[in-house]
Amino acid sequence: MREKPPAFGEVGGAPVCGTASLEADTDLVVPTIAEPEAQPDTATATGDTENDWLCAWCHHRVANDKDRFPYNGKDVFTFSNPEGIRFAIITFSRTLGCRQNGTPTLEHTWFPGYTWSFCLCDNCGQHLGWYYRSKIEFAGLIIARIVRVVCTRN
Ligand SMILES: [Zn+2]
């Protein structure tokens, strides 16, 4: 485990991987999504890398863990859409490299009174979650579609 060069921002010890979302999906069957190939060193060494969440497809920065937004005291939710597909999401008060898509609607919304619209990766266009808006606005990003920086460095 120690033969690889030290990762940026690493303060000794192997990076801890796979713990970030453990509390979120204990009863969740996560849809199988192809893991992106491990990337060689790229230009992700910017910003608050320890806390960044990246698009699972293109590793574009999309959120920061410090921006987790507690809605009624929780920042992790599991919902099913009308097709019965379950999604586990983390709520963030803001996103970084995402764009809003679609007309906000209240139809089938998971947060009563909040309209939703799609949240797409601004780099590759993947659907990563939803924006919710009422008196305030926040985003819910699908846990299975985002990765922490430490998990891309193995
Ligand atoms: Zn992307």
Interval 76-109: pLDDT, tens = 999 999 999 999 999 999 999 999 999 999 999 9
Domain ranges of the chain: 49-148
> Which residues, 6+ apart, have CB-to-CB distance to 11 below 8 Å?
none
pLDDT value of residue 149: 80
Q: For residue range 6-31, list pLDDT tens digits in order.
A: 555 444 444 445 444 444 444 555 55
Give me ligand 1 centre to Cα 57, in Å: 5
- Centroid of ligand 1 to alpha carbon of 41 (angstroms): 17
Distance 28 CA to ligand 1 centre (A): 23
CA of 36 to the centre of ligand 1 (A): 11
Domain covering 49-148 in this structure, CATH number: 2.170.150.20
Cα 38 to ligand 1 centre (Å) = 14
CA–centroid distance, residue 122 to ligand 1 (Å) = 7
pTM above 0.85, yes or no: no
| Closest of 119, 116, 118 to residue 133, by C-alpha | 116
